[in-house]
Amino acid sequence: MESRPIATPPHRPPPNTDLKVRSPWRESLSSLLQNRLAVIGGIILFIFIVMAILAPYLTPYTIDKTDPSIRLLPPSGDHWMGTDDLGRDVFTRVAHGARISLLIGLFAISGALLVGTTLGLIAGFYGRWIDMIISRVFDVLLAFPSILLAIAIVAILGPSLENALIAIAIINVPIFGRIVRSKVISLRSEEFVLAAKAQGMKNGRILFHHILPNSLAPIIVQGTLGFGIAIIEAAALGFLGMGATSPTPEWGRMLADSRGFIQNAYWTVLFPGLSIMLVVLGFNMVGDGLRDALDPKMKNK
């Protein structure tokens, strides 16, 4: 009998162990860092955040100490942004105002995000009459111009910085709620949700362990963009006398106090207004970058 050669299996190259699977969030971060406008916006925000944290140590002046002998001085080496009508250092007040404005945006948007996300999850997941009631509440809130609704809420609660923060949070609740609701409606019929229901998983666990994590992308984008909007709304309420009161160095309040000196002391209006513009621009640029990084449709364009 002839002996047949033993067939050897075809040579296969060893698996490439250098290839690493990148998580979607890490890939999105890499895409965000490649967006020049988003990076510029992040640098702007970083500068203002550092200024807010280090505000007490940046200048030797205090926010409320007045000196009529140096009132309305133009920018100089001693006073980088000049002085206001009461002889207070404008840079000191702008730096402390950054802390106030950023905290207003943080707490207002955090409150709106928490309430709006919760209501949106409930409305989108359960549907029927629960969805109808929550959606109608959102529609009523969105039917009013946001700044007029904020003014009405502050007028009822009383003018103060805390009440302005509450008003800003309330008018932003339906924005987050509708975004989350629409995302939940699109996810509740997905296979992984149906499989979780088939396994007997409770609705609360499905909402917070399956649906919410898959809804984070639009929430993060809207939260970033809403941060800048909240700062504008706080400045508008302060300018109208419905928010922070003097001598609190809130940027909108500073604009209101200095509007009578815009012709002969432009710096008292320029620097608070420029600070509002730069911070809001920074948040918008970062928000647009996040939208492009987190939205798969934008990546393919």
Q: What does the alpha-carbon distance between residue 240 and residue 8 come to, in Å, rounded to a whole number?
A: 85
Q: 217 to each of 99, 177, 179, 211, how far by Cα in Å?
A: 27, 14, 11, 12
pLDDT value, residue 132: 92
pLDDT value, residue 102: 92
Annotated domain spans of the chain: 106-296
- pTM here is 0.83
pLDDT value, residue 12: 58
Cβ–Cβ < 8 Å for 148, 236:
no
Class of domain 106-296: mainly alpha
- Amino acid of residue 134: I
Q: Is 83 helix (H, G, I), strand (E, B) or coil?
A: strand
pLDDT value, residue 296: 56
Cβ–Cβ < 8 Å for 227, 44:
no
Consecutive 10-residue runs of the chain (301 residues): their mean pLDDT?
A: 52 53 68 84 94 89 86 88 90 92 92 93 87 92 90 90 92 93 84 78 78 84 90 91 84 89 89 94 90 65 49
